[in-house]
Each structure stands twice: as structure tokens, then as C-alpha cells.
């Protein structure tokens, strides 16, 4: 799994960090960023849920490493 966050689209709603706090966090300005070393999603079933929860669809999840 590969996760990317479009930081140009993120509005800092925080839904991702609420949904999958082991993978997403928020920076000092409230925008989403990945927890260090969790770019692969760490096997979390909540990552796709977090992507769905994002109101601006800033999170993309791909099945394969790219
Ligand atoms: S849910 Fe979407 S808009 Fe909100 S912080 Fe996460 S990536 Fe940004």
C-alpha cells in the first residue's frame, strides 16, 4: 500500500488523523501529514476509511508500491 496526501488540497479538517491516528497526524498548521515511517499504511485497515472520510479527497491510496 502506498499513501499520498495532496497538501495543496488538504484543508486541515483532521478527519484522517481522527480516523487512523496511527498513520496520519497533523502538522503545526493543522494540515495532514503521515506519521514517520507510515508511508506504507502500516497494514492499517483504517487507511482507506480515512481516505474516504477526507472531505476534499486529498488522500490517495494505491495498492502497490510505486
Ligand atoms: S481529512 Fe483530508 S482535509 Fe482533513 S486533514 Fe486529512 S487530508 Fe487534510
Domains located in the chain, CATH noted: 2-62 (3.30.70.20)
Q: Report the pLDDT value the prediction gives residue 39, as an integer from 0 to 100.
A: 87
Torsional class of 58: left (φ above 0), alpha (ψ -120 to 50), beta (otherwise): alpha
Give per-residue pLDDT as tens, 15-53.
999 999 999 999 999 999 999 999 888 778 899 999 999
Residue whose CA lies nearest to ligand 1 atom number 8? 10
CA-CA-CA-CA dihedral for 37, 42, 44, 49, to nearest 10: 40
Output the pLDDT for position 46. Answer: 95
Residue 65: pLDDT band with limits 50, 70, 90: low
CA of 43 from ligand 1 middle (Å) equals 20
CA dihedral (7, 17, 41, 62) positive or negative: negative
pLDDT tens across 1-24, in order?
899 999 999 999 999 999 999 999
Distance 54 CA to ligand 1 centre (A): 5
> Which pTM value belongs to this model?
0.89
Contact (CB, 8 A) for 4 and 38: no
User: What are the distances in angstroms from CA 2 to CA 30, 36, 50, 54?
Assistant: 22, 14, 14, 17
34 lines ligand 1 (CB under 6 A): no
**Residue 64 C-alpha to ligand 1 middle, in angstroms?**
22
Amino acid at each position: 500500500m502506498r499513501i499520498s496526501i495532496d497538501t495543496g488540497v488538504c484543508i486541515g479538517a483532521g478527519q484522517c488523523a481522527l480516523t487512523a491516528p496511527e498513520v496520519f497526524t497533523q502538522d503545526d498548521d493543522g494540515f495532514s501529514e503521515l506519521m514517520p515511517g507510515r508511508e506504507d499504511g502500516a497494514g492499517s485497515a483504517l487507511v482507506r476509511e480515512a481516505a474516504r472520510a477526507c472531505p476534499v479527497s486529498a488522500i490517495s491510496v494505491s495498492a502497490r508500491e510505486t
